[in-house]
Structures are given as structure tokens and as C-alpha cells.
Amino acid sequence: MGAGLKLFMKEHLSYLIFQLLIVLFTLMLYWLEGFRNFATAMYSIVMSVILIGSFLTIRYMLRRRYLKKIVHLPTQMDDALQKNAKTLEYYQTESYMHELYKLYQQEVQALYTKQTRQYKFTNQWIHQMKTPVAVLELLLQEESLDKRSVQEEVDRLKRGLEMVLMNARLENFQEDLQVEQVNLKQLVTSTINENKRLFIANKVFPEMKIDEEIVVMSDSKWLKFVITQFITNAVKYTFEEHKKMSIEATKQGERVTLCVTDEGIGIPKSDLSRVTKPFFTGENGRKTGESTGMGLYIAQEICTKLGHELLIESEVTRGTTVKLIFQH
């Protein structure tokens, strides 16, 4: 007896017993009413057994291929996509398994993509962090230590550490989210002050035009990281000295728009639609050699999770404007 037939018999054993009990119960009722014909009773039992047996045989033949498939352990995931059902019940079961397989494949692909992105980002980040470490080692070998140069390299390390930390926290964004009323001018002022050495080193001058009464609903920590990315990019891609970077906020009804505008080299039109993609560095990234291609990607992810809209406008040699739109 095959494994499929054994499974079928176990599944229908209770059904067979139930049908036989019904036949015996019916004969007992006739017997209590005075019916005593033994030959007719035996004929009824035999016919009932034949009919039940025929029904189960046909039922088994319809399910044989499906039962044969499920009694053997699969050797590969594609086994779940086999179609052997011939009854509505098993056809629905196979459809359920196929949809479950699709969901599983999507989850596996998402996990693989996430791990690949994390691995690539970590490798690029480590490679870039070697530069400030190497510079620090060279500075330490000099007789007179240039504290300003050391501080610049330390700041580069801090910004790199902040980025990799925020990238790791993105995976558990909801657990690290605290939406509150944020005074935009205070937050931007604090961000500029924390990056003042970056402005001084690159001789870029920040200008801020934000009303003190403008308040937005956001997470101050995540929002500060996003604005920091805009500021560092604006400074990093401004190669000429004595240029300006302006930060301006406007309010129209419930809509607040924060604009960060620089006078840098701008973004080529061919790269503009891809600057928020992971690991995309473009022409500008290759010029500096410091881009991981993750800064604007992480900023875009944060804005999406916070419900803010991020727009980037740019013109080569004229500069770039990054707009962050808050809607209550």
C-alpha cells in the first residue's frame, strides 16, 4: 500500500465508520418496526458497502497525484509550485500554497536586498573612513600638531559614524520615533553651529531666513540628520571659495517649505532623478571621491517615514536647491 493511499485511508476512516453506522442504524429502525427479512438486510449492507467503496475509490483517484506529492518531503522550493489538484478543495489548497510561496520569495528577496545594501554600504564606509585615519596618522608624525587639521578629520569621522548609525536605526525606525512640535529655526541654528568648522574650512557662508514662530510636526533627531545631510552636501559640492548657502523657510497655510540652496557645481540633469537611489554617486561623487551614495538615500527614506516630501532642483554650475515640505 502506497503512502498516499495510507494517508487517504487514515483521513477517511472516520467517514467510513460513520457511513456504516448510518446503515446499521437504518436497519435497526426497520427491525424495530417488525421487518425481519435477513436476505434484504444483507443486500442493503452489501450495496451500501459497494457504493461507499466506489465513492471512496473515485475520490482517491481524483486525489492520488496530490496525495503522492504531499507525502514526500520537498527537495526544493519550486516543488511548491507543482499543480496536481483535481478537486476544488485541493485546488484551493494549492492556490494558497502558491501565494504563500510568493510571499516567502518576496520576504527572502527583501532580506537579501537589505543585507546586500548593508554589506556594500559598510564596505564603502570602512574604505572612506581609512582616509581620515590615514591623515590623522600623518599629522601625528609631524613635530608641530595642527589642531585645526586634526579637528577637521575628527569631524569627518563623526559624520561618517553618524551616517552608519542612522542607517542601522532605519531598520527599527518606529521604535526610535518621537513626533513632536519642532521649532524650525532653533533646529536649523543648532545644526549650522554643529557644522561651523565645515563652513569655515570650505569658506562657505551660511545665511538663514526662518521665522522664529514656524513650528513643524516631526522627530527632531531624524530631522536634524536630514538637514545635516543637505548642509554637508551643499558645502562639499561648493568648490569655489566665498560662496553662500542659504536656508529659508516659508509657510503657506498648513504647508511649510524649508529650502537649502547652495552655489555649488550643481547636479547634471541625467543624475537628478537618481541621486536618492542607494549607492548612486554620479558625476559629482566621482569628482570628490568621498561620496558613499547613501546620504540622500537615507534622507529620502527618513522623509518618507516621517511623512515629509523631498524635492531636489539643480542646474549645473548654478547650484542646487533641496526642498523639504511639511504638511500638517
Identify the band that residue 162 occupies on the pLDDT scale cut at 50, 70 and 90.
confident
What mean pLDDT, rounded, does the chain reach?
83
241-259: buried (b, 16+ CB within 10 Å) or exposed (e) per residue?
Answer: eebebbbebebeeeebbbb
Res. 157 pLDDT band, cuts 50 70 90:
confident
Element of type H or E holding 325: strand 319-327
CB 320 within 8 A of CB 262: yes
Give the containing element (helix H, strand E) for 307.
none
Given a cut of 70, whether residue 278 has pLDDT beyond it is yes
Q: 194 or 34: which carries more pLDDT confidence? A: 194
Share of the chain above pLDDT 70, in %: 88
Choice among 6-10, 233-237, 254-258 with the minimum mean pLDDT = 6-10
pLDDT, average across residues 134-156: 83
H-helix segments, the chain = 3-32, 38-70, 88-141, 147-169, 184-194, 196-202, 220-236, 269-272, 282-288, 295-306
pTM of the model: 0.65
pLDDT band at 82 (very low <50, low <70, confident <90, very high): low
Give the pLDDT band (50/70/90) at residue 169: confident
- In sign, the C-alpha dihedral spanning 212, 216, 222, 226 is negative
**Lowest model confidence (mean pLDDT) among 83-87, 250-254, 260-264:** 83-87
Question: Which of 199-232 are b and which e, b meaning 16 or more Cβ less than 10 Å from the residue's Cβ?
Answer: beebebebeeebeeebbbebbbebbbbbbbbbbb
pLDDT in tens, 123-134: 877 877 888 888
Decide: helix, strand or coil at residue 76. coil
Evaluate whether 162 touches 294 at the Cβ level (below 8 Å): no
Q: What is the pLDDT of residue 210?
A: 92
As a whole-number percent, the residues of the chain with pLDDT over 90 amount to: 24
Q: Is the pLDDT of residue 311 over 90?
A: yes
Report which of residues 229 and 61 the model is more confident about.
229
pLDDT band at 184 (very low <50, low <70, confident <90, very high): very high
pLDDT given for residue 40 in this prediction:
76
pLDDT exceeds cutoff 90 at 22 = no
33-67 pLDDT tens trace: 777 777 777 877 788 888 888 888 888 887 777 67
Topology (CATH) of 178-328 = Heat Shock Protein 90 (3.30.565)
Domain ranges of the chain: 3-102, 178-328
